[in-house]
Structure formats: C-alpha cells, structure tokens
Amino acid sequence: MSEKRFLCVGEHEIYCCGARVRIKDGKVEVLSKPRIVYCPLHEALYGTKTIDENAVKKSVEMKIASFGFCCENRVFRDDMVVPYGSSEIIRVCMERKAVDCAVTVCEGAGTVITANPRLVQAIGARLTGIIRTSPIKGIIEHVKAERGIILDEKKAEINQAKGVEKAANLGYKRIAVTVASFLSEEMKEIREIEKEKNVKVAIFSICNTCATEKDVNRILAYADIVCASASRLIREKVGPKALMQLGVTIPVFALTNFGKDLMLTYLANFNEKLVVFRTRKLPYLVKGKGPKIEG
C-alpha cells in the first residue's frame, strides 16, 4: 500500500520492542533504546533481523504505511496475525460465548468496550503497547459503527479499570480486559470492581517487555493470562507459577483456572495441528528460540 494513502494525525506514544516511541503528525521519533536486539515475531512481521533505534522507527513507519496506524482512514482487518495473541484468544472466546465483551485499547480512541469479537481482533491484530493517544475522528467513527463504545471520545483516555466498570454497568457479566505492564497498578482496582459489581473478569496481561519487579508482583496477584513478550522476569517468575503454557517462542501463560479454561476454549477452535503433553515444570523453553534481550 502507498504511504500517500494514509494521513497520520495527532500525537501518540507507544512501546515498540521495549523502546518508547512518539508519533506526532506522521513524524516518528524513537525516545529510548529498544530492550531487545532480536525478536522472531518482529522479523516475521517486518523483516528485521537486528533491532536498534532505526529498525524500531522503520517498523512503526511500516505500521503507518501498511494499515494506517494513527491515521484517519486506518484499515481494520480482523485476520489472525499471531497464533496465541491476546486479541485472537479473546475473539474466539467471545464467539464461543465464554466471554460477553472485551475492554481493549485502540490508538485514536483510547479504551474501547465492545461485544463485537471481530472488532477486538481488528483493533488488536497489529497493535503495540499504547501509552497515550489523542482522538482521531475517523477511527472513533469506525469503532462506534462496529459496536464499540469509547470511554472518552474527547480525550481518548486509556483507563482499563474505568472501562471494566462501564462494561459492568452496561450489564456484561463475563468481561475480558487487556492491561499493559505499564498500567499494572490498575489490576487491583479491576479486581475490586469485579467483586463490587458481581461480574467475572479475565485480565490479560500484555506488552510485558518492560515489566518491572512491581509489575510482575501485580501480575502474579491479579492476572489470568500473561503474555511473556520479551521479558526475562515474566519467564523466570511468572512461568513457574503457570497452570498452562501456549507457545514457546513468545510463551503465553495461564495463571488461573479461568485463564486455563479460556485457553482451552481457544485451542478447541484452533485450526492447526497441535502437540499436547504434561510437564511437572514450567516454563517450557527451547534454547535459541525467542527474543534476544540486550545484555
């Protein structure tokens, strides 16, 4: 697709490969060094073998050029991108009625509540960790047209706890919510809302490459499903507590029976061949697979 097709507007900050990136009116600026030097998923999506500031900048520019990331006329495609992605799992669980709705984040809109599983995947398929965003009219209009409810259209606020509360107030009883590690403090509040509103919430811990010790402690206390991203801490401290693991290159861990049930619901509808075996110890890792972390 031609870069001229898309008009990137507003100001946004994201994480990509552990680097903090600012996008302002189409200009991409890498604000910090990436945490990883190689990622097989990044290579598969963007053809990058070595990750540095320039590779991060190019990959974000490719997001803008290929599907209009942070653009008025963003393309929303709901095809599967990664086999064990959070949006993929949530979509299937919604289609199979294991979950009523999802609370996720979209650039240009902020926190989004929706009962449309295809919208969940269309938003999350190629997304990275969004730190802050500003309203984009075209994105907001599309999300609303696809049965998405935006928490704050004027500010594009990102607040997953408020999103869960709104979903509960709308009458949803089984809610999936994605929470990035840099928002991990919201997990406790989400559990309090879950109890107060008498609902069931599946917390998906995502974008964990930069997770700190405090983040990991919160994840262990409150999350149901955890994406390891490129984090050693997640592999070392969350992995051994897991009841189930999906994937090896970028492992995804279930920490609760609810999380395990959702993973099994997803696998029951997974159209590729699988090998299943029991183990006394997790995480299950294969040397040479997975991201390479700097240092």
What's the rounded Cα separation, in Å, for the pair 72 and 247? 35
Q: Check pLDDT > 70 for residue 108.
A: yes
What does the alpha-carbon distance between residue 239 and residue 249 come to, in Å, rounded to a whole number?
13
At 2 the pLDDT is 42
What average pLDDT does the structure give for the chain? 94
Per-residue pLDDT, 85: 94
Q: What is the pTM of this model?
A: 0.95
Mean pLDDT of 178-201: 98
The confidence band for 3, taking pLDDT boundaries of 50, 70 and 90, is very low
Tell me: the pLDDT tens digits for 30-86? 999 999 998 877 777 778 888 999 999 999 999 999 999 999 999 999 998 889 999
Q: What pLDDT, on the 0 to 100 scale, is given for residue 295?
A: 47
Tell me what pLDDT residue 163 has.
Answer: 98
pLDDT of residue 293: 75
Query: In the chain, which ranges are E strands?
Result: 11-16, 19-24, 27-30, 36-38, 101-106, 110-114, 129-132, 148-150, 174-180, 200-206, 225-227, 244-246, 252-254, 292-293
**What is the distance, to the nearest Å, from the Cα of residue 188 to the centroid of all Cα atoms in its chain?**
19
In the 3-class helix/strand/coil scheme, how is 50-96 assigned residue by residue?
CCCHHHHHHHHHHHHHHHCCCECCCCCCCCCCCCCCHHHHHHHHHHC
Q: Which of 11, 15, 33 is nearest to 133 (CA)?
A: 11
Strand 129-132, strand 11-16: pairing: antiparallel
Hey, where are the domains in the chain? 3-67, 86-286
Cα radius of gyration rounded to whole Å, the chain: 18
pLDDT of residue 294: 60
DSSP at 236:
I
Q: Which class for 286: exposed (0-12), middle (13-18), buried (19 or more C-beta within 10 A)?
A: exposed
Distance CA 212, CA 151 (A): 28
If you average pLDDT over residues 161-189, what whole number do you get?
Answer: 98
